[in-house]
């Protein structure tokens, strides 16, 4: 007789029966072990000497029949040529042997009993799964090969045991929807999503590297410059994630997302030092009013912020606290908050007290320690407010390390505040006294001089001369001498000085955060089109394309003259050209990264044409902006024809 091996009980069964997670189907009117046939007395059948009390462990685990034992014999009824019915009995051996674990079944799909994995070798979308590389609490991670593009990919599949859990399914689906819209060199890209059977999967970029946790275990002590480089890339990824506009399927615009689970396991590092932030399964939209269910913990306890532990409203600074924990661990090899149980750990995080980094590793520079302490501040107001601010500080630290050298003979700038608190206090008092004297002299000058306008014009002129000579430090210090109107200063002169300061910070000092702070503060008190023009250019540089378009639209629609036009050093043609270039780029980027609408590509083409015409690009062959515009115009025109 032809027989197969039943992997659920390791017993022989008739060949041709269909195997399912609940037993055998009734394809030939056979009896499923999960649902015994009550119309046939198998115990009294001739030739059946099996134990009537023997229980099929898999059938018992998948049925409600606990009061009665389940027979392990099967009956098959077939039709004879003369129409009479006869019964055949197939008896299992007396020793059933090893019994398979019911977990070898995934939603009705039998697994390979030797590999224990139902997905290996299968096609998922355009990818063939090659090997399992990791698994977490909610998902299985595989290396796969995209046969269409002949490239390796990572396939993340929701665990079969969690597929029916609506909350886990929604979180997994949300991760795919959010990360699919993120495009940043330090964020792991998502290419496709879908379902295989009843399992939801995500197709992601494959990175030839290792997790930061593995990297840390392989390097007992990581160089400070490498630590700052890793942290700078993470800060850049967070700045992008926190500010990028994302349009949901319902038409809502999300102004950035929180990661909420920054930890070494969610960061990849390549052999070339490129860092990739991944696993947005705990992510939350920043601009939508969605709250975590009461009693639900989202994130990893050791890396949570105090407000996250207390269930308070979160913003970008919560992710920055987690980054601070990560930086602390990279520097010292241990986390700042450790405890024997979860309750004690959460209490320590809420207290936010930890040992100083340089006490555990004295070679760390004071600048790096200052960054970590700011990130780990208990009050969110005392932490950095943007990822760009963190990245700017970290880059300064990297430059300091390059300048002063590295190794045992490294010369570290002294942190006088820590070493000599008395001297610091004396310096503070001296500075306060000098400030008082300066203010008093300025007050007397601004309230007694008969020709204030002439004085302000002279001061502005000196600052502009320094700016033209590219002595930006002198220009900034001179511009800063002009007082605001509430302190007796001239309104127009103060506004022009502040605008020129922001332009220097933005265009020459690469201090975008400082420039943005000045401009946004001016916008609340002044109505000058130059504010909108500079803000539009600044927003575009920070990938805030929608905000850039809004500010530049306001600039082009304004009929008011800017205060800058009264200056002999103002070049209106170059000013207008800068605004047109930023506007065309913002529209182009909005179409490329946010919304692929025909009207947007039309607007981008029109903006580029205006820039080319205004700049007279046909007669200027060496201008890089003109060359880029002339290259981009035919590309967008081709896209317009396709749409």
User: What tokens does 601 get?
Assistant: 């590509």
Helix (H, G, I), strand (E, B) or coil at 462: helix
Q: What is the pLDDT of residue 376?
A: 93
Catalytic residue among 6, 261, 490, 588: 261
Helix (H, G, I), strand (E, B) or coil at 517: helix
Residue 314: which CATH number?
1.10.510.10
Q: How do residues 311-323 score in pLDDT, each as one tens digit?
A: 888 889 999 999 9
Query: Could you tell me if 282 and 347 lie in one domain?
Result: yes
Residue 69 clears pLDDT 70, i.e. is over it: no
**Least confident range of 313-327, 407-421, 623-637:** 407-421
Residue 227 clears pLDDT 90, i.e. is over it: yes
C-alpha–C-alpha distance, residues 85 and 76, integer Å: 10
Percent over 70 (pLDDT), the chain: 71
Query: Could you tell me if 73 and 161 lie in one domain?
Result: no
Residue that is last in its domain, among 107, 134, 167:
107
Query: Could you tell me if 630 and 494 lie in one domain?
Result: yes
Q: How do residues 14-68 score in pLDDT, each as one tens digit?
A: 444 443 434 434 343 333 344 444 343 433 334 444 444 444 433 333 334 333 3
Q: How do residues 479-532 score in pLDDT, each as one tens digit?
A: 888 888 888 788 888 898 999 999 999 888 888 889 999 999 999 889 999 999
Judge whether 279 lies within some domain: yes
Strand partners, 245: 255
Segments of 34-84 assigned E as strands: 74-79
**What is the Cβ-side half-sphere exposure of residue 515, based on CA atoms within 13 angstroms?**
26
Judge whether 615 lies within some domain: yes
Q: How do residues 157-195 score in pLDDT, each as one tens digit?
A: 887 777 677 777 777 777 777 777 788 999 988 888 888
Q: Please answer whether residues 569 and 575 qualify as being in contact, where contact means their C-beta atoms are separated by less than 8 angstroms.
A: no
Judge whether 500 lies within some domain: yes
Q: What is the pLDDT of residue 522?
A: 92
Count of C-beta atoms within a 10 Å radius of residue 229:
19
Within the chain, how many helices (H) and strands (E) appear? 21, 21
**Least confident range of 104-113, 276-285, 604-613:** 104-113
Q: Is 261 a catalytic residue?
A: yes
Judge whether 623 lies within some domain: yes
Query: Could you tell me if 397 and 474 lie in one domain?
Result: no
- State how many domains the chain has: 4
Angle between helices 572-589 and 624-642 (to 10 degrees): 30
3 state SS for 256-275: CEECCCCCHHHEEEECCCCE
DSSP states of 258-318: E----SGGGEEEETT--EEE---TT-EESSS---PPTT---S-GGG--HHHHTT----HHH
Residue 594: which CATH number?
1.25.40.10
Pairing, β 275-277 against β 245-247: unpaired
Residue 276 clears pLDDT 50, i.e. is over it: yes
User: What tokens does 12 get?
Assistant: 């022989």
pTM exceeds cut of 0.75: no
Cα–Cα distances in Å, from 191 out to 146, 153, 283, 546? 11, 9, 18, 24
Q: How do residues 115-158 score in pLDDT, each as one tens digit?
A: 567 788 888 888 999 999 887 767 888 999 999 889 999 998 88
Query: Could you tell me if 101 and 182 lie in one domain?
Result: no
Looking up tokens 């207008």, which residue turns up? 576
Q: Please answer whether residues 236 and 391 qualify as being in contact, where contact means their C-beta atoms are separated by less than 8 angstroms.
A: yes
Residue 82 banded pLDDT, cuts 50, 70, 90:
very low
Count of C-beta atoms within a 10 Å radius of residue 133:
13
Q: What is the pLDDT of residue 429?
A: 84
Residue 457 banded pLDDT, cuts 50, 70, 90:
low
Query: Which residues form the domain of 229?
Result: 220-236+250-418
Report CA 600 to chain centroid distance, whole Å. 27
Judge whether 41 lies within some domain: yes
Residue 455 clears pLDDT 70, i.e. is over it: no
Report CA 502 to chain centroid distance, whole Å. 29
Residue 181: which CATH number?
3.30.200.20
Query: Could you tell me if 599 and 498 lie in one domain?
Result: yes
H or E stretch at 392: helix 387-404
**Residue 282 vs residue 514, higher pLDDT:** 514
Query: Could you tell me if 472 and 559 lie in one domain?
Result: yes
Q: What is the pLDDT of residue 493?
A: 86
């Amino acid at each position: 007789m032809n027989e197969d091996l039943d992997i659920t009980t390791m017993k022989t069964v008739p060949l041709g029966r269909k195997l399912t997670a609940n037993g055998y189907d009734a394809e030939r009117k056979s009896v499923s072990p999960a649902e015994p046939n009550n119309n046939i007395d198998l115990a009294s059948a001739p030739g059946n000497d099996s134990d009537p009390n023997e229980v099929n462990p898999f059938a018992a685990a998948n049925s409600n029949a606990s009061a009665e034992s389940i027979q392990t014999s099967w009956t098959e009824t077939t039709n004879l040529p003369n129409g009479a019915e006869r019964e055949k009995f197939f008896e299992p051996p007396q020793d059933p042997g090893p019994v398979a674990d019911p977990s070898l079944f995934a939603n009705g799909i039998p697994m390979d009993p030797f590999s224990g994995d139902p997905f290996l070798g299968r096609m998922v979308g355009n990818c063939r799964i090659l090997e399992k590389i990791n698994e977490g609490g909610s998902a299985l991670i595989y290396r796969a090969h995209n046969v269409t593009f002949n490239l390796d990919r990572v396939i993340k599949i929701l665990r079969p045991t969690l597929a029916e859990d609506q909350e886990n399914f929604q979180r997994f689906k949300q991760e795919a929807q959010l990360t699919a819209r993120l495009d940043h060199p330090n964020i792991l890209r998502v290419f496709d999503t879908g379902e295989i059977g009843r399992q939801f999967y995500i197709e992601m970029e494959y990175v030839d590297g290792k997790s930061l946790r593995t990297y840390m275990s392989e390097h007992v002590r990581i160089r400070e410059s490498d630590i700052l480089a890793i942290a700078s890339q993470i800060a850049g990824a967070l700045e992008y994630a926190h500010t990028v506009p994302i349009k949901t399927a319902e038409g809502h615009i999300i102004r950035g997302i929180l990661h909420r689970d920054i930890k070494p396991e969610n960061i990849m590092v390549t052999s070339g030092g490129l860092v990739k932030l991944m696993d947005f399964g705990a992510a939350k939209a920043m601009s939508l009013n969605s709250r975590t269910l009461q009693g639900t913990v989202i994130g990893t306890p050791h890396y949570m912020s105090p407000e996250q532990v207390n269930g308070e409203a979160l913003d970008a600074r919560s992710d920055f606290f987690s980054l601070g924990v990560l930086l602390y661990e990279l520097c010292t090899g241990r986390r700042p908050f450790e405890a024997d149980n979860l309750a004690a750990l959460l209490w320590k995080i809420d207290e936010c007290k930890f040992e100083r980094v340089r006490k555990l590793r004295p070679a760390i520079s004071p600048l790096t320690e200052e960054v970590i302490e700011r990130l780990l501040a208990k009050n969110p107001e005392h932490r950095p407010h943007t990822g760009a601010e963190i990245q700017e500080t970290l880059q300064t630290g990297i430059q300091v390390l390059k300048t002063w050298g590295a190794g045992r003979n490294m010369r570290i700038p002294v942190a006088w505040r820590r070493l000599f608190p008395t001297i610091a206090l004396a310096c503070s008092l001296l500075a306060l006294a000098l400030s008082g004297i300066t203010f008093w002299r300025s007050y007397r000058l601004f309230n007694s001089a008969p020709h204030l306008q002439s004085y302000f014009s002279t001061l502005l002129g000196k600052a502009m001369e320094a700016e033209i000579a590219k002595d930006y430090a002198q220009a900034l210090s001179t511009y800063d001498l002009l007082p605001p109107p509430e302190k007796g200063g001239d309104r127009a002169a103060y506004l022009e000085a502040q605008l020129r300061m922001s332009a220097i910070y933005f265009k020459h000092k690469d201090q975008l955060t400082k420039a943005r702070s000045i401009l946004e503060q001016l916008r609340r008190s002044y109505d000058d089109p130059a504010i909108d023009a500079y803000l539009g250019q600044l927003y575009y540089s920070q990938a805030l394309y929608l905000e850039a378009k809004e500010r530049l639209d306001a600039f082009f629609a304004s009929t008011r003259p800017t205060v800058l036009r009264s200056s002999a050093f103002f070049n209106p043609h170059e000013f207008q050209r800068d605004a047109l270039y930023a506007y065309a780029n913002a529209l182009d980027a909005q179409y490329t990264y946010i919304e692929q609408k025909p009207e947007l590509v039309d607007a981008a083409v029109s903006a580029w044409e205006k820039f080319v015409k205004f700049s007279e690009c046909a007669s200027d062959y060496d201008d890089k902006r003109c060359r880029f515009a002339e290259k981009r115009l035919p590309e967008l025109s081709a896209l317009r024809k396709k749409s």
